[in-house]
Amino acid sequence: MSQAPLLMAILYVISSLTPKFIQAQCPGGSVAMSSTYSNSMSSGGTTVYTFTMPQFNPSPGGYTFLSAVLSSTATTGTTISYQNTTAFFQDFFPSVSRTDNVKVNGSTAVNRNNEYDFDETMLTAQGTPTDNATNGPMNTFDNSNLFTTTITNPTTLTNVYQGSGNLNISYTSTFFTNNFIPTGVTVSPTLSDNITFSVTYNFCNPTTLSSNILNFTAEKESNQKVDLKWITANEQPGRKYYIEVALPGQEFAITGSTPSDASMNDASYLYVYSVPPTATGRIYFRLRQIETDGTATWSEVRSVDLDGSGGGGAFSIYPNPPSDFINLAIPGDAQDWQIDIFAADGSLVQRNYYLNQNSIRVNFVRRLSAGSYFVRATNPQSGKHYTSSFVIR
């Protein structure tokens, strides 16, 4: 019997608990968020993979780092042949097992064993028609979770996983195919292994997000100008919007402001940001909303890359507010995307997968209650991700 159902059940329990754990760790007013980076690998058996993954960078949003989660799934195609070389009847229960070891910056972070058990195998004496048998071809590990390890130690998070550079990963997967095989039976395995390794960073956005800013985008008009646009609902007189900008290596600073337009319930705004002549790299933008009583809330962070052709704000959601579906416009060529929708408390509402698309319609699996929601689109291959929000009225 395969261990995959048990492993998937364990993964489901872990994933169902994770949002509550994150929420409990976030201080009042903070929003739980996460970013996932993945790397896919393939081989014909025992292999050592070496690669890099980005560290968690808390700047420029001032995010609070909660945990790093290492996980891996695998699909292993297996064919194993057995040949009795003795004059005796052989009766046994074969299995295939694997050990997956992960080292991060030279130190072991994961060392986990998994096993798949085949049905009973009986071989007659050598030279008879049934002196051999074959299991497979089959997937002994079929998109199975191999491990999920959560790192919460503050020292380890700060010294290893946090920074503006990369993690050096060494992933070793070792197979054992002669488990419980009696003496005199030869084993001939053929294996093909496809692994996806992921690191997920869970963190808190330390600011309270505004619920009335329905859509905020930053689009590079040129290397000298960036257009900031936002749409609001339930506009109020006396409210003021401050534009905050973080240049590379700097903290957010106010660069301009605009008063609310309370002549209509829903309002649209445009602010043209003049880029400093010496600025290069990625610039970050957010809105600080100040009420008449001094209460402050913020928009989500948007960015543009002065060295690239596009901006992070090109990711958009419409209609906003929606009813029973949303459309996503994702910048760049058509790719594979994992789409996650989160409630304002960080709990996962639904997850969908789309292949080779950049214009996606996401139907809600249930009627959503009124409130703010966040959408994260993640490319499983590259780890690239986009985040935006919408409001259900």
Report the DSSP pairing between strands 267-274 and 225-232.
antiparallel
Q: Let me know whether 139 and 223 are in one domain.
A: no
Last residue of a domain, one of 312, 331, 352: 312
Buried b (16+ CB within 10 A) or exposed e, 355-374: eeebebebebeeebeeebbb
Q: Let me know whether 45 and 148 are in one domain.
A: yes
Q: Let me know whether 201 and 216 are in one domain.
A: no
Q: Let me know whether 176 and 230 are in one domain.
A: no
Average confidence (pLDDT) per 10 residues, the chain, 393 residues: 35 33 50 77 82 83 83 94 97 94 96 94 97 96 92 91 92 90 95 91 77 84 88 90 83 89 86 89 86 86 70 65 85 84 80 84 88 82 77 82
Q: Let me know whether 106 and 47 are in one domain.
A: yes
How far apart, in Å, are the Cα atoms of 298 and each of 23, 210, 242, 318, 338? 19, 5, 9, 21, 26
- Which three-class secondary structure string do you get for 209-230? ECCCEEEEEEEECCCCEEEEEE
Range of the domain at 250: 210-312
pTM (two decimals): 0.57
Q: Let me know whether 214 and 323 are in one domain.
A: no
Query: Residue 273 pairs with which residues in a beta bridge?
Result: 226
Q: Let me know whether 272 and 369 are in one domain.
A: no
Check: CB of residue 123 under 8 Å from CB of residue 132.
yes
Give me the CATH number covering residue 266: 2.60.40.770
Q: Let me know whether 118 and 235 are in one domain.
A: no
Q: How many domains does the chain have?
A: 3
Q: Let me know whether 42 and 159 are in one domain.
A: yes
The pLDDT score that the predictor gives to residue 365 is 85
Last residue of a domain, one of 297, 312, 327: 312
- Rounded to 5 degrees, φ, ψ at 312 are -65, -20
Last residue of a domain, one of 277, 312, 347: 312
Q: Let me know whether 298 and 331 are in one domain.
A: no
Q: Let me know whether 129 and 108 are in one domain.
A: yes
Query: Residue 360 pairs with which residues in a beta bridge?
Result: 328
Q: Let me know whether 195 and 248 are in one domain.
A: no
